Amino acid sequence: MSHRIFNFSAGPAMLPTEVLEKSAAALLDYKGKGFGIAECSHRGKEFDGVVDEAIARAKQLVGLGDTHDVLFLQGGATQLFTLIPMNYDGNGADYLVGGEWSKKAVSFGKEAGKTNVVASSETSNFDHSPKPNEWKMTEGADYFHVCSNETVHGHRLAVWPTHPNLIVDASSEFLSRPHPVSQCAMVYGGAQKNLGPAGVVLVYVRKDLHARQKKVMSKLWSFKDQAENKSMINTPPTFGIYILLETFRWLEAQGGLAALEKRNTAKAGLLYAAIDNSNGFYKGTVSVKDQRSHMNVTYRLPSEELTEEFIKTAAKNGMVALKGYRTVGGIRASIYNAMPVEGAQALANFMKDYASKKS
């Protein structure tokens, strides 16, 4: 294996080495057949086996029975949150807006449906997610959409809300801890953070939603039709789905989502301790402590100059992609499932050392 460093990219992001090695081998020669998994028909038995196993494992990881369908779609999470109102919004839907991505879900969603923002924290620069007692819910809304981890602003819903038709954009924390998918109408996420390469969106959709499906212009955009066709109305991103399957196997081998949650909590704890123990040198950007993300740790240094230098020096020390989102600035360290504890420890040590030299 070639030299790999600690890559804190927010996505596309670091993937487990083992997943990459196994996928690379399958790309060249799938099970000794003399062709790779990206070189065979999506209608053939090899790929059919991949999809069936991927669906079964995706369900098993979150403890689902037969209540939900699993889809592997294209178009990114952005297309997904555009399709949701096209499919299900007849009377209007509720949206919680806590950051960049839930705001975008509304801006794309309102093209196709009636979106009601139950609460927004934009006036405080999305430094937290509005608390449940501030939500102005609509009686009879078709669904309630939330983003469970705001990738840009670095906070999460530590406990997902309950609602008869909860829809969750879990893109940046997907399968990083146990999720109550069985209690949700839909949970979806782009693969490029925790699951695999960009180009695949993993979706869990509760089957009773199919009956509520509105007529859409093409069946390509209908969740019901996609479910009936095992996400293969047309050619799916076969190699991307294969990598997801390898990730699902890897997650199981790690001890499942509860084990991952433990490791991810420890990793996040190392970085938040480095912030909290820096005598104010580092300032976390999230104002509500129990909302701090375990996936995207966001903080600022005392000046732009120090921020630039911090990023450059970290890169020289084998830690890359720490620059915050373009509209927010500061530092963002993304520590998805594939980031080892050693990576978080190395960054925490570097932070401590840097602060002591500069303060």
Query: Of residues 7, 8, 11, 144, which one binds ligand PMP by CB under 6 A?
Result: 11
Q: Is residue 240 within the footprint of ligand PMP (CB under 6 A)?
A: no
Stretches 125-133, 165-173, 176-184, 284-292: which one binds ligand PMP (CB under 6 A)?
A: 165-173
Alpha helices, DSSP H only, in 177-255? 223-228, 238-253
**Residue 78 binds ligand PMP (CB under 6 A):** yes
Q: How far is CA 130 from the centre of its chain?
A: 20
Return the residue of 76, 92, 302, 318 that touches ligand PMP, per CB under 6 A: 76
77 in contact with ligand PMP (CB under 6 A): yes
Residue 334 in contact with ligand PMP, rule: CB under 6 A:
no
Given 193, 224, 267, 323, the catalytic residue: 193
Q: What x-and-dash track marks residues 170-189 binding ligand PMP by CB under 6 A?
A: -xx-----------------
Q: Is residue 199 close enough to count as binding ligand PMP by CB under 6 A?
A: no
Q: Spell out a b/e string for 108-136, using b for 16 or more CB atoms within 10 Å of the CB, else e.
A: bbbebbebebbbbbeeeebbbbbeeeeee
Which segments within the chain are labelled E, that is strand? 6-7, 68-73, 93-97, 115-120, 144-147, 149-150, 155-156, 166-169, 186-190, 201-206, 283-284, 296-300, 319-320, 331-334
Q: Residues 7, 82, 129, 151: which binds ligand PMP (CB under 6 A)?
A: 151
Q: Determine, following the binding rule CB under 6 A, whether residue 190 of this chain makes contact with ligand PMP.
A: yes
Q: Reply yes or no on whether 169 is catalytic.
A: yes
| Catalytic residue check, 101 | yes
Binding segment toward ligand PMP, per CB under 6 A, in 126-134, 166-174, 267-275, 303-311? 166-174
Nearest Cα residue to 320 out of 4, 2, 21, 9: 9
For the bound state, the minimum distance from the C-beta of residue 161 to ligand PMP, rounded and expressed in Å, comes to: 16
Do the strands 115-120 and 93-97 form a parallel or antiparallel pair, or are they unpaired? Answer: parallel
Is 221 an annotated catalytic residue? no
The DSSP bridge partners found for residue 93 are: 115
What does the DSSP 8-state code read for residue 131?
P
Task: Check if the beta carbon of residue 296 is closer than 8 Å to that of residue 333.
Answer: yes
- Give exposure, 182-210, as e/b (b: 16+ Cβ within 10 Å): eebbbbbbbbbbbbbbebbbbbbbbeebb
Q: How far apart are CA 232 and CA 216, in angstroms?
A: 17
Residues 6+ away with beta carbon under 8 Å from 107:
none
What is d(CA 270, CA 358) in angstroms, rounded to the nearest whole number?
20
Considering only 72-80, 210-218, 244-252, 271-279, which stretch makes contact with ligand PMP by CB under 6 A?
Answer: 72-80
Q: Stretches 15-23, 43-51, 76-84, 174-182: which one binds ligand PMP (CB under 6 A)?
A: 76-84
Q: How far is the CB of 154 from ligand PMP (least distance, A)?
A: 11
The residue (of 99 and 355) whose beta carbon lies closer to ligand PMP is 99
| Cα separation, 70 vs 54, whole angstroms | 9
Closest approach of Cβ 105 to ligand PMP, in Å?
Answer: 7
Interface residues for ligand PMP in 253-312 (CB under 6 A)? none
Tokens of 172: 């940046």
CB of 205 to ligand PMP, least distance (A): 17
**Mind telling me the catalytic residues?**
101, 169, 193
Binding residues for ligand PMP, rule: CB under 6 A, are 11, 76-78, 101, 147, 151, 169, 171-172, 190
